């Protein structure tokens, strides 16, 4: 936890942080399964009386594939400049973190989460299994073909 006091920041004297952060996997939420490594370098100052964070984040995450929930390693390399706002003021864009201080590690994780694509796929060419626990996925063409070629034997009851 890297706690930052908002009132201690100034535009004239930026503060710099270099951090190797770690996170409890139970607090990450879908689609994040684990943070293998997360290193960030941040420069904090003020802009129009609001905390300004310029941050470069590099790391490796374990995320779940959007198609079949198979975990895979996803590298991140993000550079972002953002404001930290107390509330939505209608003029500025940034992360809303109320209070007199904020956790820079938590902000770095939020930036990573917001940069993830909506659809995480291990490889475009990888295929998903078409069978799972007695259920099989078939296309319309396969369904029509199977219904035309399937022969059902009816037992003779006499």
Report the domain count for the chain: 1
- Domain hosting 69: range is 3-122
What pLDDT is recorded for position 78?
A: 95
Q: What is the pTM of this model?
A: 0.74
- Residue 58, in any domain of the structure: yes
- Residue 28, in any domain of the structure: yes
- Residue 82, in any domain of the structure: yes
Name the pLDDT band for 12 (thresholds 50, 70, 90): confident
CA distance 92 to 115: 19
């Amino acid at each position: 936890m890297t706690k930052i006091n908002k009132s201690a920041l100034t535009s004239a004297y930026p503060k710099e942080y270099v951090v190797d952060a770690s996170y409890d996997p139970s607090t990450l939420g879908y689609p994040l399964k684990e943070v293998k490594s997360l290193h960030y370098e941040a420069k904090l100052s003020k802009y129009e009386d609001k905390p300004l964070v310029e941050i470069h984040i590099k790391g490796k995450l374990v995320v779940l594939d959007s198609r079949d929930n198979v975990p895979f390693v996803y590298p991140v390399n993000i550079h972002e400049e953002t404001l930290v706002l107390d509330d939505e003021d209608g003029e500025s864009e940034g992360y809303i973190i109320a209070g007199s201080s904020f956790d820079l590690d938590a902000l770095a994780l939020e930036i990573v989460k917001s940069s993830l694509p909506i659809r995480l796929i291990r490889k475009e060419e990888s295929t998903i299994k078409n069978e799972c626990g007695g259920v099989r996925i078939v296309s319309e063409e396969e369904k029509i073909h199977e219904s035309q070629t399937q022969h059902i034997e009816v037992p003779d009851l006499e």
